[in-house]
Amino acid sequence: AQSVSQHNHHVILSEAASLELGCNYSYGGTVNLFWYVQYPGQHLQLLLKYFSGDPLVKGIKGFEAEFIKSKFSFNLRKPSVQWSDTAEYFCAVIPSGGSYIPTFGRGTSLIVHP
């Protein structure tokens, strides 16, 4: 079975700082990769996803992620964070074969100070 590791559990930044959240997965085959975000008091929602093509994908609110197949990684980046980016961020993987069941990482709590 696949697994997802998010190494940064808690990140605290000041506004305008750059952000990179790590995500590594373990699965030998083709995968589809996702980042979800949960703002305080809201439901989980899609930030961006990769399933084929350009390994650099852009999402909402200036976020982007790069799929590096050789490193089994899908790190999330934003060049300049805002206070409104304070949220929980979850990485997820769905294999392209088999049951198509998603596996989520533990999540990273991001706090951005104004």
Contacts to another protein by CB under 8 A: 1, 4, 9, 32, 34, 36, 42-46, 49, 51-52, 90, 92, 94-96, 100-107, 109
Q: What is the smallest separation between the CB atom of 41 and another protein, expressed in angstroms? A: 9
Q: What is the smallest separation between the CB atom of 79 and another protein, expressed in angstroms? A: 25
Q: Could you give the dihedral angle defined by the CA atoms of residues 67, 71, 73 and 77, in that order, rounded to the nearest 10 degrees?
A: -70
In angstroms, how far is CA 40 from the centroid of its own chain?
A: 17
Of 52 and 70, which CB lies nearer to another protein in the complex structure?
A: 52
Q: What is the smallest separation between the CB atom of 32 and another protein, expressed in angstroms? A: 5
